[in-house]
C-alpha cells in the first residue's frame, strides 16, 4: 500500500468551504500545512478566501462543487489528482436546511434535505474513499451535528435526521476502509458562536447559555482545529468516532 511521505504536502478538499463553519475549517487546515481546495456552489467567496490565504494559488485553490451532484465530487477529485498526483483528505462540511416547524415540513422537501445532506456525504465518501483505498491512505471527516444525536429540531427535523444518517454512514465507511489505511470520523458541533446561531437564538440567547454547562457558545475555530487533527497522520488510531463539540449539552 502507498503511504504518504512525512514531508509530502497533503491536499484537503473541503465542501462548503467558502462560508460559515467551512471558512474556519479551511483556515485551520491551511495553517496546519495542508494544501486546501475550497469548494462551494458560489465561486466568488471561495476565490476571495483562496486569494487571502495564498495569492499565488499554490496552496489554496478553488473548485465549484454542488454536493447534490455526485459527478461534481468526481470532477474535483480528477482535477486534484491531475494537478498534484493525489488527494489525502475530504471534509464533508456542506449542508442545507431551513428552520421549520415539524408539521410544516413538506415531505418532498424532507426528502430533498436528506438527499443533499446525507446523500452528499455518501457520494463524497464513496468517490474519495475509493481513491484513498487505492492509494492505501486517506482521511474522511464528516460534519454531523448535536441535532443528529439528541433529536433536536431547532434547525428542522429534516436537518436532524440527515445528520443522524451521517453519523451512521461514518461508521460504515470507517469499518469498510480501515484495513486500507483510511479513517473516517465525524464531528458533532453544538451551538457555535456564529451570526447564524445568534440570529436563530435571538432573545433566547441567555436561556440557551443557561442550558450549556460551560456557559458559553463554542468557538468555530475549535471545530477547525479538530478537523485538522483528524485529517493528520497523527490521527491514525482514531476511526469511526464522533467528536462532540457542544459544551457539555450532550454527554455520552
Note if 159 is an active site residue: yes
Cα–Cα distance, 142 to 93 (Å, whole number)? 6
The catalytic residue among 159, 174, 217, 249 is 159
Catalytically annotated residues: 159
Amino acid at each position: 500500500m502507498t503511504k504518504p511521505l512525512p514531508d509530502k504536502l497533503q491536499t484537503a478538499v473541503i465542501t462548503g468551504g467558502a462560508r460559515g463553519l467551512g471558512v474556519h475549517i479551511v483556515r485551520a487546515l491551511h495553517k496546519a500545512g495542508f494544501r486546501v481546495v475550497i469548494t462551494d456552489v458560489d465561486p466568488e467567496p471561495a476565490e476571495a478566501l483562496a486569494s487571502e490565504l495564498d495569492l499565488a494559488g499554490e496552496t489554496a485553490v478553488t473548485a465549484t462543487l454542488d454536493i447534490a451532484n455526485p459527478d461534481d465530487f468526481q470532477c474535483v477529485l480528477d482535477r486534484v489528482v491531475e494537478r498534484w498526483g493525489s488527494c489525502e483528505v475530504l471534509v464533508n462540511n456542506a449542508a442545507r436546511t431551513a428552520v421549520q416547524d415539524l408539521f410544516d415540513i413538506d415531505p418532498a422537501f424532507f426528502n430533498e434535505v436528506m438527499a443533499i445532506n446525507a446523500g452528499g456525504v455518501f457520494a463524497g465518501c464513496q468517490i474519495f474513499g475509493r481513491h484513498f483505498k487505492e492509494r492505501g491512505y486517506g482521511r474522511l471527516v464528516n460534519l454531523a451535528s448535536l441535532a443528529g444525536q439528541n433529536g433536536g429540531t431547532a434547525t428542522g427535523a429534516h436537518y436532524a435526521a440527515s445528520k443522524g444518517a451521517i453519523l451512521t454512514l461514518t461508521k460504515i465507511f470507517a469499518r469498510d476502509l480501515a484495513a486500507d489505511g483510511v479513517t473516517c470520523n465525524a464531528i458533532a458541533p453544538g451551538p457555535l458562536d456564529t451570526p447564524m446561531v445568534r440570529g436563530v437564538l435571538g432573545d433566547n440567547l441567555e436561556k440557551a447559555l443557561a442550558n450549556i454547562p460551560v456557559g458559553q457558545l463554542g468557538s468555530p475555530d475549535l471545530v477547525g482545529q479538530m478537523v485538522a487533527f483528524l485529517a493528520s497522520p497523527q490521527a491514525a488510531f482514531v476511526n469511526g468516532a464522533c467528536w462532540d463539540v457542544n459544551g457539555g449539552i450532550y454527554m455520552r
